[in-house]
Structure 1
Amino acid sequence: MSGNTFGTLFAVTNFGESHGPAIGCVIDGCPPGMALSEADIQADLDRRRPGTSKFVTQRNEPDAVEILSGVYEGKTTGTPIALLIRNTDQRSKDYGNILQTFRPGHADYTYWQKFGIRDPRGGGRSSARLTAPTVAAGAVAKKWLKAKFGTTFHACMAQIGDVVIPFESWEHVPNNPFFAPVADVSALETFMNELRKSGDSCGARLRVVAQNMPVGLGQPLYDKLDADIAYAMMGLNAVKGVEIGAGFASVSDRGSTHGDSLTPGGFQGNKSGGVLGGISTGQDLDVSIAIKPTSSILIPRDSIDVSGAPTEVITKGRHDPCVGIRAAPIMEALLALVVMDHALLHRAQCGDVHVDTPDIAAANRA
C-alpha cells in the first residue's frame, strides 16, 4: 500500500492499524547531533492521546513511545529513527456487526473497492489512531526547528459545531480539554454534553500558527510552501477544507486592501498567511482547517452490505463525538513536518545565498 511516506529530505513513513499490536513511524533524514529522548516526544503524544476527558473517545491508550533506532548516547545519529507506540486497549468485538456492511461517511466502501479487503476493527488503516505516529514525528521536527530558528507551533479550536470560539489568548489552550483559546469553556461543555446524549457528532474548525519563521522556505512552482501545507493538512483524517491566511475571505476583499504593505518597520498585515509566491515571508504561518462530523455514530443510517443489499448501520464502540477536539496537536505536527522538510531543502539549495535587503518580517517580531 503506497502513500504512507511524507516528506523529501525529512521523510516520515507511517505504519500500523488501529487494532493491530502497534503503530509507529520511521523518520529518515533527521540531522545528526540533536539531543533526543522519549520525553521530548511523549509530551505531544499526551496532548493527543484518547481517554483524557469525557468529551473524547474513552479508549484509554497510554501512547508510550519507544525509540528503537537512530539515537546513540542521547543524540540523533543521522540514521533512521524508528518510533513505536503499542496498542493496549483495543476492543475489536465492537466492530463485529459491520464486517459485511459499510458505514456512511467512512472509508469502508472505498477501501473495499480499492483493495478487495479491509480491516474493519476501528477502521484499520483509515483510523485517526494513525495520527499518533505523525504527532511523534512532528515532535522531533519541532525540537530541531526551535533550536535552529526559534520556530514554535501553536494550535487551537476556533469553532465546534455551530459554536464559534473567539480568540482570547494562547495561554488558555493548555488549560481545557477543547484546546480552546478562551478562559470560560462552559458553553462548549454544555454543547458537547448535549451532543453526546443525542448520539450524534459534529465538525470543527481549527487554527495553527508557526511563529519565528525563517524567510525563504518553499519553491516557486510545484513545491510551494503553501501547497505542501494544504497537502499535509488534507492528509489528516476528516479534513474537508484548508485556509491559509485570509483564505476564503479573500473572495470579498479588494486588491487595494488585500496585499500586505511592506514598510521599513515590517509588514502591515498578514492576509497572505506568511507565504508569498509559495515562499515564506518570515511572518507567522497562519493555517485553518475544517473537519467534518465524526462518521461513527449511534444513530441508525441507511447503507448497503458487501453484496449490495440495503441495510441499516449502527456504529458501536468508543468514538470521538467531534474528532476536531484532539486535532490541535496533530495540526502542529503536520505543519512542523512541512516546515522541517522545506528548511532542509532550502539549506541544500540556497544555504550559501546572502542578500543585503533586510528581513522586514524580523521587524514585526521585534
Structure 2
Amino acid sequence: MAELPRAGASASGTLLRLAQLTKRFGAHTAVEGVSLDLTAGEFMCLLGPSGCGKSTLLRLVAGFEAPSSGSISLDGRDLAGLPPHRRPVNMMFQSYALFPHMSVAGNVAYGLKGLGLSRSAVGERVGRLLRLVRLDAFAERRPDRLSGGQRQRVALARALAREPRVLLLDEPLGALDRSLREETQGELRALQRRLATTFVVVTHDPAEAMTLADRIGVMDRGRLVQVGPAADLYERPVSRFVAGLLGDVNLIEGRVGPDTGGASRTVETALGPIRALPPSVALSPDAGVVVAIRPERIALAQGPEAGREEELAGTITETTFLGERIRRQVRMRDGSLLRVSTPAGGTSWEAGTPVRLGFPPEAAVILPA
C-alpha cells in the first residue's frame, strides 16, 4: 500500500477521525465505540484511570493493535491494514526506549532510518531537532549521562524525526519527579505550538491534562464519556465520575423538582432546596440526583443561621493551610461534610465557628445519581 500523502486537514477541518472504534481482547472490551475528530495542530489529552483503555486507543491509532470494529482515518484515508512504519503517525512510549549504546544524536538519527535521506540531510535534521529541544550541546553523550528530563527530550526529538502528522505520547512525563514534570509540561506545550503538530497525550494526571490540552477526552471503562476544553469539563461535568476526576468536588444528594423554566432547576436536599444548572440529559420529576459544587465556588459568612434562601448553615470542623488557599471542612445540619476553599489571608475562623455557605446557581450543576 502506498504511503499516505502529507496533505493538510480535510475540507471539514478534521485531520484524524476515529469512528465507533472498538477493541476486544477475548471477552474483555478494552475500547468500546469511541468516536473522536481531531484537527490539525490540536493538542488532545486522553485522561482516565489505569485500565480505562486510553493507551490501547493510542496503540490502535499507531497501528500496533488492529481494531475489532470501527475505523481510523487520516485526511479522509482509511488507515486499515497500514503497518505502523507506513503511517504518518509516531508514538513515544513512557519508558522512552532509548538505545544505551548510542549517543543522543545517534538515538535521534535512528528514527530517520528507512527514509532514504542522505547523510548530510540526516545530520541537518538531527541538529535542528536537538536545537529545538535544547540538547545540541549533548549530541555526543550517552543516555546514562543525562537527567530524566533530558532523556525525555531525546525521546521526543526521536519521535519527531520523521515529521509525523500526529504524535502520540503515552504518559510522556510519568517518569519525572514533580518539579521537573511541571517544568517539562510548559516546554512540551511550547514545543507543540511551535511545530503546529497534532499531539495526543495519554495521562492519568488531571492537572497535567488541564495544563497541556486544547481539549480533554475523559475515558471510563473503555468509553469516551466527555470531550471538551478543560474549563467546560471542570465547570460542567456530565457525570459524578468526570466531576471527581477533574478535581475536588462536593456532591449533595437530592431529588430534582419540577421544571419551572429558567436557566436553573431546584433540587430538594436534606440541607434544604438548592438551585443549580440542569444536566445535559433529561431528568424526570423527582428523579434522584446529586448537586456538584467545587469547594472554591462556595463563599463563607459568619453567623449561626442562613441569612438568605440560597445559603446553607453549618459549623467549621477543620481548617488546613495550603499556602495560597485555606481549605475548611464544614459539618452541615444533617451531619454531612462540605469542603470550602478560600484565598489565604482572609478571616481566621477556628473549629466550632458557625458559618453560612452560599453560591450562585450557575456555580453548581445537577448530575444523575
Give TM class, smaller chain. under 0.3
The structure with more helix, counted as a fraction of residues: 1
Q: Which protein, 1 or 2, shows the higher relative CO under an 8 Å CA cutoff with sep ≥ 6?
A: 1
User: Which protein is bigger by CA-based radius of gyration?
Assistant: 2
- TM-score, length basis structure 1: 0.21
- TM-score, length basis structure 2: 0.21
The structure with more strand, counted as a fraction of residues: 2
